[in-house]
Amino acid sequence: MIRRTIVIVTVAAWLDASAIVAGAQEARSGNPILAGWYADPEAHVFEGRYWIFPTYSAPYGQQTFLDAFSSRDLVTWTKHPRVLDTANVAWARRAVWAPSIIQKDDWYYLFFGANDIQSDREIGGIGVARSRTPTGPFIDHLGKPLIDKFHNGAQPIDQFVFRDKDGAYYIIYGGWRHCNIARLNDTFTGFIPFADGSTFKEITPAGYVEGAFMLLKDDKYYFMWSEGGWTGPNYAVAYAVGTTPFGPFERVGKILQQDSTVATGAGHHSVLHVPGSSKWYIVYHRRPLGETDRNHRGVSIDELRFDARGLIEPVVLTKTGVRTDSLPPTLDRRR
């Protein structure tokens, strides 16, 4: 009898432990992943943590700051409020949005749009601030916008900063259905002209509206963007492929769009990849079903997959999000 009792207790304990392990393995992020209304997320891995820098989704007059969020495992997120505030950017007063961040020489450089300028006569455009840490505070780097004019018809918004395999840094940006690329100088205070003397080259693909993003994988440049109307249900992400960051780019098609059973207005994304892993994620915003407030957007995450030819498979929108994916300790050190 005593032996039987011991066996029963041991088996029960094993079952409890197994249930705990199974539960941990099944932990998922859920969608949306961030509490509150946010949009235009850019995701990175910095100092052993996942980071997301989004737009605070509100009327333009209330968009005077940027929050950031960090996580060890994609499931539990910590908010870092007001990493950028217009109090530290004298020329910015409203419509601060679409952050893009990059680490260089022990600094973090945060690029952002501000003021939603409609002509060259207005003050605003794309600015850059910097901080020693991802948590800020980010301080204006120039005391003025980096780009404050409409070059090639592109509104100076929705910037993405891209480091090429040769170490060159480029800014890819533009609204109003035009997209430019320019090479940043070493201090991110200006630009290095191209061989033909130009500074801003237009690389607008068919269907482009805004929200430029680029990634390099297996020597292919995946140029991605948002198309459709940002306030409507048909907002979507499409992409093209080229052999250089300047193109020419061959359009492939849409890979992220609404699902009438899950959410609408899925767009303005970024792509997250842990170095050395085979896992890719797409981080984007979307609207709850039936929502009529244009600012009600939530940041979500789902898996991004490539097929055997290197093409991106259509993204499946989920309510459950992704499984926990803890970062390895080796990524704790700064690059």
Tell me the backbone φ, ψ of residue 280, rounded to 5 degrees.
-125, 145
- For residues 191 and 195, what is the distance between their CA atoms, to the nearest angstrom? 13
Give the span between the Cα atoms of 133 and 79, in whole angstroms: 15
Catalytic residue list:
40, 210
Which one-letter amino acid corresponds to residue 247?
A: G
Look-up: residue for tokens 């407030």? 293
DSSP class of 311: P
Instruction: Let me know how many helices (H) and strands (E) the chain has, helices first.
Output: 1, 20
List all residues 6 or more positions away from 89 whose beta carbon is below 8 Å from its beta carbon.
114, 127, 129, 140
Of 94, 98, 21, which Cα lies nearest the Cα of 63? 94
Which one-letter amino acid corresponds to residue 81? P
